[in-house]
A = this chain, B = another copy of it.
Amino acid sequence: MLVPVILSGGAGTRLWPVSREGLPKPFMKVAGERSLLQETLLRGESLPGAERPVVVTNRDYLFLSRDELDGLKGAVRPARFLLEPFGRNTAPAILMAAIAVAQWHGDDAVMLVMPADHVIEDRAAFAQSVAHAAALARGGRLVTFGIRPTRPETGYGYIETGDALGGDGLRVKRFVEKPDAARAREFVQSGTFLWNSGIFCFRARDMIAAFDALEPAMSKAGRDCWTASSTATSAADAIELDKACFDGMRSVSIDYAIFERAPEVAVVPCSIGWSDVGSWKEIADCYAPDAAGNRSDGDVMFVDSRDTFVLCDGRMAAAIGVSNLIVIDTPDALLVADRERTQDVKKVVERLKASGSDKHQLHLTVARPWGTYTVLQDSARFKIKRVEVKPGASLSLQMHHHRNEHWVVVSGTALVVNGDMTLTLQTNESTYIPAGHRHRLENPGQDNLVIIEVQVGDYLGEDDIVRFEDRYGRVADDAPAKRAAA
């Protein structure tokens, strides 16, 4: 038995403008139709003996993550979710997962911890490495996956390997922080250093014991958190981790807290086509180049250009006489960067934050538990939205003080509460909701519902909303106003 545990966090600020707080890196599609999270779920599912996966993520991403699972149409069995109230690095996440897995599957269950935002191109080789790791884990080892380095990368941590342990495993001599270029070259030449991948394998009991021994305070806080959380929650598949108890664990990586200090640590060297796709340069490398080294995603025309990556969403792009560029085009923000400077994307995100812009946070298309909305036009006195509602989903029963709304159904069927009336609108039918009217939009059909909403009024801020009922628990939501909207 093997329990895939997927750590789905990480803002991916170096992947702006595609990765933003509202839809971060695990939800990105890289050179394919599936998101990184979906690929990770499938990778876990394909392993022999794989159990239901456990996804540890921020509670803001529960509905988005469920949508990703649903999008796999049953190819992965239903996940269990552990919902963090806020990010606390990997140690608390892995401790809570170990406690939960011990509860659900027993102490001896072997866990495979995988970040949701990595690319692994060779799934067969990965399965082979997991088999080796699981064997070591069943012997009581805490196992980490070490990637055989293919270049003197300065962006990763390294693992120096020691004696062989049998079964393709090696002792870990030491963990090394990100090196400078000279040391990185030495490491690669030595043949005894591996990249630290952030993928781990161990029995639940061994990880809990390691915390007990090395981080007793965290261990206690984690058990308390489990007790408080598992009894407070009602949802069968999602456990919301208790805020106060979770806050009692310190923010530290599992490497620092456990792996660098535990005695029984092993590493399995792998060549599995791994990348942490941490920057646009690495994303670009996932696409096949043309003869001139250009790569693209979307409607792109290259004229006398080389070694350039262009990603277009909706619009067309032409590149003339350029080289070594990264061009990332999204509906409301464009990035043009030198290929070797994509680490500096985070500087842009910092400046955006400082300037009060929300372009590091929200996309024009915003995900909601019930579907999405896209702002098509935003003017002083009117705003146009395309609202897409999933089958069976419903927006909250709500009211606006300042804006009137015109709804036109352009696809599917809508069940609408408008003041005292309840009406069914078919495609090409419309209704008008004056300010002050309670209203609700629901999709009673089997297909997606799409409406065009024309808002007219003196004030069109998303915070002009009074919620009366909400099936997603957002009536007393304490999320920021911008996120709570609609």
Contacts and interface: CB of A to CB of B under 8 A. Distances in A.
B430 A430 contact: yes
A382 B404 contact: no
B312 A336 contact: no
A327 B319 CA distance: 9
Interface residues of A, number: 55
Nearest to A381: B411
Given A336-B327, A384-B384, A452-B454, A344 B320 contact: yes
A379 B321 CA distance: 34
Closest 3 CB pairs of A and B: A321-B341, A321-B338, A382-B410
Contacts of A420: none
A428 B452 contact: no
- Give the interface centre of A303, A335, A408, A427 by most chain B CB atoms within 10 Å: A408
B336 A336 contact: yes
A430 B379 CA distance: 18
A342 to B, nearest CB: 7
A267 to B, nearest CB: 36
A386 B408 CA distance: 15
Interface of A: 301, 303-304, 310, 312, 315-322, 325, 327, 329, 331-338, 340-342, 344-345, 347-348, 351, 357, 359, 376-377, 379, 381-382, 384, 386, 404, 406, 408, 410-411, 427-428, 430, 432, 450, 452, 454, 456-457
Given A334-B312, A411-B381, A318 B456 contact: no
Nearest to A316: B333
A373 to B, nearest CB: 13
A351 B299 CA distance: 13
Given A322-B325, A336-B325, A408 B406 contact: yes
A376 B384 contact: yes
A456 B428 contact: yes
Given A376-B384, A410-B456, A452-B384, A336 B348 contact: no
Given A336-B325, A432-B430, A304 B381 contact: no
Contact of A317 (B319, B334, B450, B456): B334
A317 B348 CA distance: 10
A190 to B, nearest CB: 32
